[in-house]
Amino acid sequence: MQEKTKPTIVLAGGTGFIGKHTASYFSQIGYQVIVLTRGENRYENAIRFVHWDAKTPDNWWHLLEHTSAVFNFTGHSIQSVPSEANRRKIIESRIQSVKALTTAILRCQSPPPLFVQMSAVGYYGNTLHFCTERAPMGKGFMAEVCAQWEKTFLEVKLPATRQIVFRLGVVLAKDGGALPPLINLTKLFLGAPIGSGKQGISWIHIDDLMQLFRCSLYKHTMDGIYNITAAQPVSNKMFMKSLRHILNRPWVPSVPSFIASKVALWGMKTDPEVLLTGCYAVPRRLAEEGCMMQFNELEGALKDIILR
């Protein structure tokens, strides 16, 4: 049974890396959490999991009535082989879930006052320039995915719901996302820069991300698109240097792009674009809102995560 006394938030796709952190965080600070999943209905650690198909607002839409916010984390992993079928899944899973949630919110008599949609700084493509939220869309598949994702989210104006896009940088945590494999490689003396090593890594500490989710609930001025990154993005070369430093590993030569592409495709079953491209996104709108982050400098963030 949904508890009446607690404020409720809904996490679509909340079984993944960021969703699990968010569910546990909001649960700990006194929220009732409902997770929409393609898995089975169940309760686990006081979190309610409700089945949906991530496409149609069927028998779950009424759960959004009287809730405080909806956060959407849904999407087929970008860490998959760049086949036509996977690329279609990556785009469709994101767009269909946005549409289903939008329709569900429009059906509510008492809709959630906040809908937060994840996107990514991949929107800016591969660039060495600093990118505020005003920077133009870049080139490449990830930029195209983000543009379609955000357009679908923002093209329907919800009358009673603030709509926020979180353009996430690489989310750093010990238990998921991009960091654990990099830690493992570095421990094996394979923590090399990739390609030119100049590609930007815009990153955010998982704890800061949780604070920003909470902030979005209370800061009613927040609306529209935000870069969700630490103030100091770094190059891939700097990132790997910091990791090696913290893990006490010596310098290793860069992996040439053509080898990295092959390793990405055949070893990691991942689109080489993920490894070889990047950008230097900066959180200008968060700064304007006065949202402070605890970790803006990479080495401090990595030490906190790895050595804590």
Ligand X SMILES: NC(=O)c1ccc[n+]([C@@H]2O[C@H](COP(=O)([O-])OP(=O)(O)OC[C@H]3O[C@@H](n4cnc5c(N)ncnc54)[C@H](OP(=O)(O)O)[C@@H]3O)[C@@H](O)[C@H]2O)c1
Contacting residues toward ligand X, per CB under 6 A: 13, 15-19, 37-39, 54, 73-78, 89, 93, 118, 120, 168, 170-171, 177-178
Q: Provide the minimum distance between the beta carbon of 245 and ligand X in the complex, in angstroms, as a whole number.
A: 22
Q: Provide the minimum distance between the beta carbon of 216 and ligand X in the complex, in angstroms, as a whole number.
A: 15
Specify whether the CB–CB gap between 197 and 236 falls below 8 A: yes
Q: Provide the minimum distance between the beta carbon of 177 and ligand X in the complex, in angstroms, as a whole number.
A: 4
By beta-carbon proximity to ligand X, the closer residue of 51 and 66 is: 51
By beta-carbon proximity to ligand X, the closer residue of 233 and 251 is: 233
Tell me which residue has its CB nearest to ligand X.
Answer: 16
User: Widest CA span of the chain, in angstroms?
Assistant: 60
Q: Provide the minimum distance between the beta carbon of 2 and ligand X in the complex, in angstroms, as a whole number.
A: 19
SS3 148: helix
Which of 277, 260, 270 is closest to 86 using CA atoms? 270
Which of 134, 286, 301 is closest to 212 using CA atoms? 286
Q: What are phi and psi of 98, to 5 degrees?
A: -60, -45
By beta-carbon proximity to ligand X, the closer residue of 82 and 254 is: 82
Strands (DSSP E) found in the chain: 8-12, 32-37, 42-44, 47-51, 69-72, 114-120, 130-131, 162-168, 170-172, 200-201, 203-205, 224-228, 234-235, 280-281
Q: Provide the minimum distance between the beta carbon of 54 and ligand X in the complex, in angstroms, as a whole number.
A: 4
By beta-carbon proximity to ligand X, the closer residue of 105 and 204 is: 204
Question: Cα–chain-centroid distance for residue 210?
Answer: 11
By beta-carbon proximity to ligand X, the closer residue of 58 and 259 is: 58
